[in-house]
Structure 1
Amino acid sequence: MTTATVSRWDRFRESFFWYSFKRDKVAILSFVVLLLMVLAAVFAPMLAPADPYDLAQIDIMNSELPPAGLDGADPAFPLGTDAQGRDLLSTILYGTRVSLMIGFGAVLLQSILGVLFGLMAGYLGGKVDAVLMRIADVQLSFSTLMVAIIVGAVFKASFGNLMFGEIAIYMLIFIIGVAEWPQIARTVRASVLAEKKKEYVDAAKVMGFGTPRIMFRHILPNTLSPIFVIGTVQIANAIISEAALSFLGLGMPETQPSLGSLIKSGFDFIQSGSWWITLIPGLVLVVLVLVINLLGDWLRDVMNPRLYKG
């Protein structure tokens, strides 16, 4: 067992993936920043000075206190407070946690849908391919955000106050996942069309393997590289979509902070001088999306040696 583990680790250290990662300072910095943000979000209950969900810890008299270093600041609130008197550092930690949950959850859902429909369209072809790709084309003719807004508005009109509970997270995962599956489906379909013409697929057919086994056991593993690349970028897109929906009032409520809802909650107070309520969560959102996109660009280059310039 130990020998096998050491052997796998040695193979990883000698791989082109690890070699290219060590030589790319931007990728290393992006990974470190993303890892720190993910760890801070995961351990938010332990790191946050206060619980933004606990009304007993919130004092409206502490509302709109500026960050440390500005006149009127309170050392107990290093990043200041929002309009409700909540510690902004705590709400950002919890808000980043919610945004990451929605981002990863939405990409997991759209990956499942995209891989399933892409495999079916590419391998089965014919009417199945035509129907699935026409559905994808119609959905792609609208912007992703527009589809998410329409679906989000329908959900809010249908379920009302349910959108203001914890179920809002799962609804946003469903909304964004359904809105963005065509990108992955088209990528998988293109890979399947190339793979199904290869000899190993013909050999599997001759051996009598069924269609599901050929699709999922033989073709799918050879289409994972582009899925990883597009999936990384889609995480950033999902986080941006959540922020946009929350800003428009169709996402997370202000009582359950996400980065989008925090930006929205402070937008009305910019002109009154409380710029930090919107600016600081906005900067966190920009950094989070930026490092994910930088890692996605690096991963795309590594997965395609023709693009790699390391």
Structure 2
Amino acid sequence: MWDSQMGYSFRRNPVAIVSFLIFAIIALLAVLAPFIAPYNPYDPAQIDIMNSEYPPFWVEGALPEFPLGTDDQGRDLLSTILYGTRLSILIGICAVLLQAFLGISVGLLAGYIGGRTDSLLMRLADIQLSFSTLMVAIIFLAVTQALFGTETFNQYAVFFLIVVIGVAEWPQYARTVRATVLAEKKKEYVDSARVLGFGPLRIMLRHILPNSLSPIFVISTVQVANAIISEASLSFLGLGMPPSQPSLGALISSGFNYIFSGSWWITAIPGVVLVVLVLVINLLGDWMRDVLNPKLYKG
């Protein structure tokens, strides 16, 4: 039923179609970056500082081999954006998977067991929600960088970002899953499972969780966009990806000092890509929310 309803709604929604196509194109180009990028921005042998700050092709003084220009280090901006987009999407998806694992686990336990366990876990979620993601991430990453040193931090920056963004946002899932579990566990199919002798773990995972997937899908779509923005913000502040492995946020940060000197494209073009990527993901999330919510769905 949901598949046919979602397909029908998708075909009738031009915003959803366009958003999906744009996201699919960006994601495909990012995944295929090692094969389609003209240069490898991670290879120092392919970087020449003498090629720095060449403008994109529509600006006078451009070079044909650099269609979107070059950055301050002489790297081809098109290649760097492709690799950076792949990195940003990877961090966003992995961080959301970690958020989902933690939040779903906590939500299932809190909603199904109830009592003091529910109160304790939800108070932990409330405490976590009282701190902004960026504040938690800045403190954690700054301390981590001081403890391990800049070189080690840069080497494992991807993992540090995934962990801190994932841990900072799990309460969103926990609250939603808990509310769904509280409603589902009172239904007859759960009582039937108990009568058949199924254990709590099997009931939660095999019976209740599948009926909680709709809101989880909606949250995940929005959270991917939020995770990408968080990564970009941290990289812009110098607490994310190093210049040698640029994400979209790191690219925007590296070119920010050159805006007023005339090399605006170093920041502007990656910034446009980031805005478009986050926008289409949020539009897809809004469409999915409307379709999966019977009160909002109008056919």
> TM-score w.r.t. structure 2 length?
0.98
Alignment-derived partner of residue 6 in structure 1:
none
Alignment-derived partner of residue 306 in structure 1:
295
Gaps of 5+ in 1: 1-10
Number of aligned residue pairs:
298
Aligned positions of 1:1-310 closer than 5 A: 15-160=4-149, 161-165=151-155, 167-310=156-299
C-alpha deviation, 1:152, in angstroms = 1.6
In 1: Cα distance, 2:88 partner to 2:290 partner: 27
C-alpha deviation, 1:219, in angstroms = 0.5
Q: Percent identity?
A: 70
- Counterpart of 1:142, as a letter, is F
C-alpha deviation, 1:159, in angstroms = 1.9
RMSD, aligned α-carbons: 1.1
- Counterpart of 2:262, as a letter, is G
C-alpha deviation, 1:266, in angstroms = 0.2
Q: Provide, for residues 157-213 of structure 1, a one-character-per-residue CA deviation record: whole Å limited to 9, x for no partner.
A: 222222212x21111111100010000110000000000111111111111111101
Which shows bigger deviation, 143-152 or 237-246? Answer: 143-152
C-alpha deviation, 1:307, in angstroms = 0.8
- Counterpart of 2:169, as a letter, is E
In 2: Cα distance, 1:227 partner to 1:149 partner: 27
Alignment-derived partner of residue 3 in structure 1:
none
In 1: Cα distance, 2:144 partner to 2:298 partner: 46
C-alpha deviation, 1:271, in angstroms = 1.1
C-alpha deviation, 1:309, in angstroms = 3.9
